[in-house]
Amino acid sequence: MAQVISDRRDIEFVMHEQLNAQDLSKLHDGFADFNKKTIDLIISEAKNFAVKELLPANKDGDQQGCTLENGQVTTPDSFKRLLELFNEGEWLAPTEDPQWGGQGMPRTVASAAAEYFNGANYPFMMYPGLTQGAGHLVEHFGTKEQKDLYLKNMYTGKWCGTMLLTEPEAGSDVGALTTKAVPNGDGTYAIVGEKIFISGGDHDLAENIIHPVLARIEGAPAGTKGISLFLVPKFRVKPDGSLGEFNDVICTGIEHKMGIHGNSTCSLSLGSKGNCVGTLLGEENKGMKAMFLMMNAARLLVGFQGFACATTAYMYALDYARNRIQGKDLTEIMNPDAKGVPIIRHPDVRRQLMMMKTYVEGMRSLLYFVHYCSDMAKFAPDDKQKAKYQGFVEVLTPIAKGYVTDRAFEVCSQGMQVYGGYGFIEEYPMAQLLRDCRITLIYEGTNGIQAMDLLGRKLGLNKGKPIMDLFGEMQKTLAQAKEIDSIQGYAVKVEEVVNKLAEVSIHMGQTAMSDKVLSAFANAHPFQDAAGDTVMAWMLLWRAVIAAQKLEKAKKKDKPFYQGIIKSLQFYTETMLPITLGRFAALMNTSAAAVEIEDDMFPS
C-alpha cells in the first residue's frame, strides 16, 4: 500500500500560488519567520511525522480501540508514545501564542500540517485537537489565575482537554441541558450532571484532563440564556499547579462505534458523589457565546477531518488503480491476444478518479482559504478588511463543515468502489476511511444544522454584507477567467451558477421569513448543496486562472500539473454544474411535501 496520503504539489500550489501564504510574514510581526522556506520546511516535517509515526498506528488504533475496565479507560497501545512525540515536536498548538507554549503559526500554514496529520490518523488527532480547543477557551475567557494554572500545561500537551456539551436529553438542543452548578461560597461551584458522546472524555494519555462544561447556575434563566461555562479538571489543581484529589468526574461507559475506534467516546457523570468542583470560565449566563468560539473552530476541524479522509482515499485509490491489472483495454476488447491493463485505463474508473480529484482539490482550496481568512480577519491592515474577512469565515464555515464532509464521504465511497471487493474488506484501508469519515457528517452540529445556520443566520448576517462580499470575490475571479481563451467557456458556465445562486438565495431568504418558513428549512440542506457546489466551482475556476496563466512559461515537469487543474475545472463544469442547475430549479419550487405529509401517512 502506498504511503502517499496527500498531494504535496497541490498543497504547495494552494499555499504559495493561490493564497500566497508567504506574504503573511509581512503582515504581522509574529509571522515574520514564516517565509516560503520555513513554510515548506514545516510541511515537510508534518508529512514525515504523519507518514512515519501517525499512519502506522492508524490500523492498530482501529483494531484495538478503547476499553473501560474497573473505571479506567485504556487507549490503543501506540497512542501514548504518539502523543509524547507529537508534544516533543510542539505540534499541539501551532497557531497559539508562544507565551503559553504555542508557535504563533499562521492558520493558513497550519492547514497543511492538519491535512497530513488527520489524513494519517485522525482518531488520534482528536485528542490534541480537543485539547487545543479547550485551551483556546481558557486563553480567551479565563482569569489570570486560570491561565497561569492551566494554559501552558494544555498547549504543551502535558494535560489534555475536552468539550462537555451533550446530555441524554439535550443533544442538538443544548438549551435543554440539566447539569447544574451550585455556588460553594468560595468562588467555586459544585457541578452535578450527566454528559454523553464526549470525545476523549477519559483516557490514559495524560496525567490530567481539563473539561470545559456547560451547566446552569441555580436560579438562572431557562434555555440557552441561562447557560454558563465552567472549568472542571479530572484532578483538582492546587494553587502551585500540582495535582490534588480526584474531582468526581467518572466515566460510566464508552461507546462502541462504527468508526474512530481509537478515540474514547465517553459518558461522564459529574458530582455523583457530591464532590465535583468547577470554576466559572467567563461570565455567568454567557456560556454559549464562549462555547461557540470553540465550536466554530471545531467545525472547521471537522471539515478537515472529513477532507483528510477524502484526500487519503483518493491517493490510495489512484495508486491502486495504477497497479491493479484487470481486464483488457476497451479498444482491444475483441483482440484475443490483448493483455490485461491497469484499471486506471478503464473509462468508468477514470471517471471515478476524476470526481475524487476534482472534489479533493476544490475542498483543499476552500478549507485553506477559510483559514487564510481567519489570519486576515485578525491581522489585516485596517478594520474594514478585518470585518470583510471575518464575514467570509462566518458565511463559509457551514459549507466548510457541512458541504465538505458530505462530499468527502462520497469521495471515500468512490475510493472503495475503485478497489472493488477489496475495498469492502478490512485488510485494505478503504473500509476504515469510510467508517471514520461518516461521523464528520454528524458531530459538531449535524450537516442539517449547518444548512439551517447557512439559511437562517448567515444569508442575512450584517444585513447581507458578507454574502454580497463573497459574490464580489467570485465576480473578480470570473472577470479574470473570461480574459483567458483556454478557460473562457468554463467561466461562462460558472458565471451562470453564481448568478443563479444569488437569485435563489434571495428567494430562499424571503421564503424563510414568510409563512412558508417550514418549507424553506425543509430545503435548507439542498440549498447548502447548491451553495457548496457554486463555491466549489469558484475555487476550481480560481485555481484554473492561476494554472492557465502559468502554463505557457511552466517548466516541462510542471505542465501536466497545471493542465490537470484545468481538466478538473472542465470535468466539474461539464458533469457536475448541470446537476447544480437542477438543484436550483428544485429550490425555486421549494417543495412543501416533507412538512405537509401527516404523521399517519408514514408507515405505522
What is the full DSSP assignment across 246-279? E-SEEEEEE---SS-TTS-EEEEEESTTS--EEE
Question: What is the sign of the dihedral through the CA atoms of 229, 234, 236 and 240?
Answer: negative
* Active-site residue, from 139, 361, 444, 495: 444
In 51-208, where does DSSP find H-type helix? 55-64, 77-88, 107-141, 144-146, 152-155
Q: From CA 343, how far away is CA 420, in angstroms rounded?
A: 11
* Domain limits, the chain: 8-155, 160-284, 460-592
pLDDT given at position 552: 87
pLDDT given at position 456: 96
pLDDT given at position 596: 95
Residue 1 has pLDDT above 60, yes or no: no
Q: Confidence band (pLDDT; 50, 70, 90) for 316? A: very high
pLDDT given at position 52: 96
Name all contacts of 359-362 with Cβ < 8 Å and 24+ positions apart. 359/310, 359/407, 359/408, 359/410, 359/411, 359/536, 360/7, 360/307, 360/310, 360/311, 360/314, 360/411, 361/10, 361/539, 361/540, 361/543, 361/565, 361/568, 362/536, 362/539, 362/540, 362/543, 362/568, 362/572
Q: Stretch 95-117: mean pLDDT, rounded?
A: 94
Class of the CATH domain delimited by 160-284: mainly beta
Pairing of strands 277-280, 72-74: unpaired
pLDDT given at position 280: 97
Nine-digit cell at 38?
Answer: 520555513
Largest CA-CA distance found in the chain, in angstroms, rounded? 89
Report how far apart, in Å, the C-alpha atoms of 592 and of each of 287, 445, 450, 589 are: 36, 24, 20, 9
Express as a percent the part of the chain with pLDDT over 70: 99
Q: What does the angle CA 100 – CA 103 – CA 105 come to, to the nearest 5 degrees?
A: 130
Q: How high does pLDDT run on average in the chain?
A: 95
Residue 162 has pLDDT above 60, yes or no: yes
Nearest CA to 439 out of 266, 532, 306, 308 is that of 306
Q: Is 88 among the catalytic positions?
A: no
DSSP 3-state assignment of 460? coil
pLDDT given at position 470: 98
Residue 90 has pLDDT above 70, yes or no: yes
| 155 CA to centre of own chain | 20
Q: Answer yes or no: are the C-beta atoms of 400 and 370 closer than 8 Å.
A: yes
Report how far apart, in Å, the C-alpha atoms of 245 and of each of 67, 146, 157, 251 are: 24, 18, 21, 16
pLDDT given at position 2: 53
Nearest CA to 213 out of 193, 199, 197, 239 is that of 193
Q: Stretch 352-372: mean pLDDT, rounded?
A: 98
Q: How many CA atoms lie within 13 A of 311 on its CB side?
A: 31
pLDDT tens for 384-405 read: 999 999 999 999 999 999 999 9
Q: Assess if CATH 3.40.50.300 describes domain 8-155.
A: no
* Cβ burial, residue 257 (10 Å; 0-12/13-18/19+): middle
DSSP string, 380-414: -SSHHHHHHHHHHHHHHHHIIIIIHHHHHHHHHHH
Report how far apart, in Å, the C-alpha atoms of 342 and of each of 285, 330, 417 are: 62, 12, 15
Length of the chain: 604
Which residues fall within 8 angstroms of residue 534, CB to CB, at 6 or more apart?
Answer: 474, 497, 498, 501, 580
Find the distance separating the first CA and the last CA of the chain, reported in whole Å: 48
Report how far apart, in Å, the C-alpha atoms of 584 and of each of 451, 461, 572 are: 15, 22, 17
Nearest CA to 584 out of 517, 503, 513, 519 is that of 503
Q: Answer yes or no: are the C-beta atoms of 32 and 349 closer than 8 Å.
A: no
* Cβ burial, residue 368 (10 Å; 0-12/13-18/19+): buried
Residue 78 has pLDDT above 90, yes or no: yes
Q: Is the pTM of this model over 0.85?
A: yes
Q: Stretch 178-182: mean pLDDT, rounded?
A: 95
Which residues fall within 8 angstroms of residue 9, CB to CB, at 6 or more apart?
Answer: 561
**Total Cβ atoms within 10 A of residue 590:** 19
pLDDT tens for 4-35 read: 899 999 999 999 999 999 999 999 899 999 99
Report how far apart, in Å, the C-alpha atoms of 353 and of each of 74, 109, 558 are: 39, 27, 20
| 164 CA to centre of own chain | 19
Q: Answer yes or no: are the C-beta atoms of 245 and 141 closer than 8 Å.
A: no
pLDDT tens for 206-238 read: 999 999 999 999 999 998 899 999 999 999 999
Which residues fall within 8 angstroms of residue 183, CB to CB, at 6 or more apart?
Answer: 189, 217, 218
Pairing of strands 209-217, 180-183: parallel
Q: Stretch 172-181: mean pLDDT, rounded?
A: 86
Express as a percent the part of the chain with pLDDT over 90: 93
